Amino acid sequence: MFLAKITGNLVATQKDKSLKGHKLLFYQQIDFQGNLIGKQDQIALDLIDAGIGDTVLVVKEGAAVQQILGHKNAPVNTMVVAVVDDIEINE
């Protein structure tokens, strides 16, 4: 899992049938200070209604995504699993 910033929405008129009704988002990985560390936008499935500008927690592992979706039919390995409200680091 890692932190990311949502950078945009992806609209697809044709999708795999197991993705219909689900939102796809563009994201870039960030560090704990919110600085972008990803080289380019990536795509993740969103089931928690995240929006552009949100800091989120992303899981990039097929087995975890399958467990969350409850089936193995979706061609997905990256999913937004939480919207992050605050980051506090104790040093």
User: What are the pLDDT digits (tens) for 39-76?
Assistant: 889 999 998 999 999 999 999 887 777 777 777 777 78
Q: pTM score, two decimals?
A: 0.85
Domain ranges of the chain: 2-83
- Taking the C-alpha atoms of residue 60 and residue 67, their distance in angstroms, rounded to an integer, is 13
User: What are the pLDDT digits (tens) for 32-45?
Assistant: 998 999 788 999 99
CATH says 2-83 is which class? mainly beta
- Taking the C-alpha atoms of residue 14 and residue 48, their distance in angstroms, rounded to an integer, is 22
Residue with tokens 């999708």: 15
* Contact yes or no for 60/38 (Cβ under 8 A): no
